[in-house]
Amino acid sequence: MHKDLTEILITKQKIEERIKELASEITRDYQGKDVFLIGILKGCFIFLSDLVKNLKINVNIDFMMVSSYEGKQSSGVVRILLDLKQPIEGKDVIIVEDIVDTGLTINYLMKTLKARKPKSIEVCTLLNKPSCRKVHVNLKYIGFDIPDKFVVGYGLDYNEYYRNLPCIGVLKDEVI
């Protein structure tokens, strides 16, 4: 275990198993369709790449980057730092997120993207913290529900570090 972690919440093996299950669900639900995946940078980058390797349907992939956080606290203010290169009108869209916490980011993204008239739009998130929700959001695909703890690894960061850890872990208090 990394010296800055107090516990490993989800092991690499558990993540890999769950991603295969999520990919099977998506493959089944979107049979015969092309899916437009929108990865939300930077946290999604490992999850998205592992997910798409297990999808057996045609996919397009694009990225957005939004800022809502600095350090550990949600500011509630969402800004688009990088937008899509392609239109999504008439397309079946899935937003791929690392984690949904207060729901403010995904709520804002859903509103913004729905205005671009996709045929359908759903969310696939690796992690979900249901106890932290400030706004209701509809999450179709959830990897794991987790408690209200600040987690890092598998793409998730604390001040840009720890994204490369292969598991999801909880940081020691003294590090934060």
Q: Does 39 bind ligand IMP (CB under 6 A)?
A: no
Chain Cα centroid distance, residue 105: 11
Interacting residues with ligand IMP between 115 and 144 (CB under 6 A): none
List 95, 99, 121, 165, residue binding ligand IMP (CB under 6 A): 99
The shares of helix, strand and coil residues in the chain, as percent rounded to the nearest 5, are 25, 40, 35
Of 27 and 112, CB closest to ligand IMP: 112
Which tokens belong to 38? 């929108």
Considering all CA atoms of the chain, what is the largest pairwise distance in Å, rounded to the nearest integer? Answer: 50
The runs of H, that is alpha helices, within 63-140 are 104-114
Q: Segment contacting ligand IMP (CB under 6 A): 10-18, 20-28, 46-54, 92-100?
A: 92-100
Q: Does 46 bind ligand IMP (CB under 6 A)?
A: no
Question: Can you tell me the distance from the alpha carbon of 8 to that of 3, in angstroms, rounded to the nearest whole number?
Answer: 11
Contact letters (x/-) for ligand IMP, 139-168, by CB under 6 A?
Answer: -----------xxx---x------------
Measured over the CA atoms of residue 116, residue 118, residue 121 and residue 124, the dihedral's sign is negative
- Catalytic residue ranges: 101
Q: Does 100 bind ligand IMP (CB under 6 A)?
A: yes
Using a 10 angstrom Cβ sphere, with 0-12 exposed, 13-18 middle and 19 or more buried, the burial of residue 5 is: buried
List 105, 124, 128, 153, residue binding ligand IMP (CB under 6 A): 105
List 10, 26, 36, 43, residue binding ligand IMP (CB under 6 A): 43
List 26, 35, 88, 101, residue binding ligand IMP (CB under 6 A): 101
Question: Can you tell me the distance from the alpha carbon of 95 to that of 38, in angstroms, rounded to the nearest whole number?
Answer: 5
Residues at the interface with ligand IMP (CB under 6 A) = 43, 68-69, 74, 97-106, 150-152, 156
